Amino acid sequence: MLIHKMKRVNGVITVPGDKSISHRAVMLGALADGTTSIRGFLRGADCLSTIDCFRKMGIRIDEDGNGSVTVHGRGLNGLSAPQDTLYTGNSGTTTRLLCGILAGQPFDSSVTGDASICKRPMGRVTRPLSLMGARIENEYCPLLIHGTKLHGIDYSMEVASAQVKTALILAALYADGETVIRETEKSRDHTELMLKAMGADIETCGLTVRVRRTNALRPQDITVPGDISSAAFFMVLGSIMPESEITIKNVGINPTRTGIIDVMRQMGADIRISGERTEGGEPVADIRAASSRLRGVEIGGEIIPRLIDELPVIAAAAVFAEGRTVIRDARELKVKETNRIRAVAEEFTKAGADITETEDGMIINGGKPIHGADFAVYGDHRMAMSLAILSQLAEGASSIDDASCVDVSYPGFFEDFYGLEN
Ligand code: S3P
């Protein structure tokens, strides 16, 4: 697809619902006793994979096609054995969180996904689950899960990963005794918040989460806020484009997710937050980003899990920022939908950007002119959207080899994007 270049962008948009919260709402709704109503559900391919998997386990899920979803939960012990392999598509969250739920079921199951999922490490979930007694074959998909009795453990996490943490929390709902999970850095805590609201026996203290076996989860009405990881593309777009201003309404600003705001402000971006409120236990606000002169920054340490998915678009911002940006401690980028360190470095280099791949991140010397190119997106939704933004300020024409992959997290991205031109 040829990327159209806009001169200026202005306007107000609403981004689709948060991907992490949408997955959890369906999963926990399925395990609750009764009906969970979800509003603002992300109808992206990843979250639809989650719905599909739970339907295969006998859960009735009604969808109106507009983000209203009703999950007819059957309780923690109400899932039925799936007749087929559970197919998770491109979704790491579905795959890893399912492992936690399936490990303690009284039936066997198998899980697999697309070519990208089959290359992503699942040992980070299956190994700690096996310490709880789980019997899971393979460290890559397809995974064969022999449901069994589980027991609590005290586990110090090896990577800062909300997917691993959540898989263990979900398994702990079925395990005898107490499970203690110790994080190295604080990762997104949507599972903990939602489970507390549903009455689970879960406590968080700093980097430690304690969970005890739970007999019943209360169904909820869940309003999913806009996804800050999707809003990030517009925060960067509004900041780099001349004479521009974009307001993104109704965005989730859970502090475990707001690293993008901190970093953009540090880069000198004019980002304003207004109308802060709490909806369904999650903080929400409107975010306004306006044209700014950006400067390079150093990004590393505890902030990384708070902006891990936003690093490709932050790298695009860094290309237009004066001076050097160094991203470190971001090894996790190598095991996302694609190796995002390599993909960003290779594609941005095609545009003439001064970017060097490092062992755990990248170094970008920004503020130099770039030119258009024919970009590869590696089937990765966030690469496609980041390259569409990079192309805006490149001299000459650019294209991306796959625009449809944005459907994974942001169906309608290009309509919203071009709708801002003026
Ligand atoms: C997610 C956690 C993060 C993130 C992913 C969604 C989640 O992955 O990159 O897009 O919903 O828990 P990791 O847990 O692998 O860091």
Choosing from 200, 219, 238, the residue where a domain stops is 219
Distance 248 CA to ligand 1 centre (A): 22
In this structure, are 168 and 75 located in the same domain? Answer: yes
In the predicted model, residues of the chain with pLDDT beneath 50 are none
Q: How far is CA 327 from CA 26, 188, 231, 360, in A?
A: 34, 20, 21, 8
User: What is the rounded distance in angstroms from the CA atom of residue 395 to the CA atom of residue 257?
Assistant: 33
Closest ligand 1 atom to the C-alpha of 165?
A: 14
Taking each continuous run of H as one helix and of E as one strand, the counts in the chain are 12, 23
pTM: 0.98
Quickly list DSSP for 290-317.
E----B--EE-GGGGGGTGGGHHHHHHH
Pocket probe mutation, ligand 1, options 49, 50, 93, max atoms within 8 Å of Cβ: 93
Query: Pseudo-torsion of CA 273, 277, 280, 282, nearest 10°?
Result: 40
Question: Closest Cα partner for 1 from 408, 422, 415, 398?
Answer: 398
pLDDT of res. 280? 84
Choosing from 166, 186, 219, the residue where a domain stops is 219
Check pocket membership of 230 for ligand 1, CB cut-off 6 A. no
pLDDT of res. 379? 97
Pocket probe mutation, ligand 1, options 22, 98, 188, max atoms within 8 Å of Cβ: 188
- Tally the domains of the chain: 2
Domain harbouring 392, CATH code: 3.65.10.10
Check pocket membership of 188 for ligand 1, CB cut-off 6 A. yes
CB atoms closer than 10 angstroms to residue 274: 10
Check pocket membership of 309 for ligand 1, CB cut-off 6 A. yes
In this structure, are 176 and 300 located in the same domain? Answer: no
In this structure, are 208 and 61 located in the same domain? Answer: yes
Residue-wise burial string across 339-349, b where 16 or more C-beta atoms lie within 10 A, e elsewhere: bbbebbbebbe
pLDDT of res. 397? 98
Collect all residues with Cβ–Cβ distance below 8 Å to 54 and sequence separation of at least 6. Answer: 26, 27, 30, 61, 71, 79
CB atoms closer than 10 angstroms to residue 242: 9
- CA nearest ligand 1 atom 10, residue: 309
Choosing from 203, 219, 235, the residue where a domain stops is 219
Residue 411: asked if its preceding bond is cis (omega within 30°), the reply is no
Distance 139 CA to ligand 1 centre (A): 18
Range of the structural domain that residue 277 is part of: 2-16+225-418
In this structure, are 158 and 249 located in the same domain? Answer: no
In this structure, are 155 and 184 located in the same domain? Answer: yes
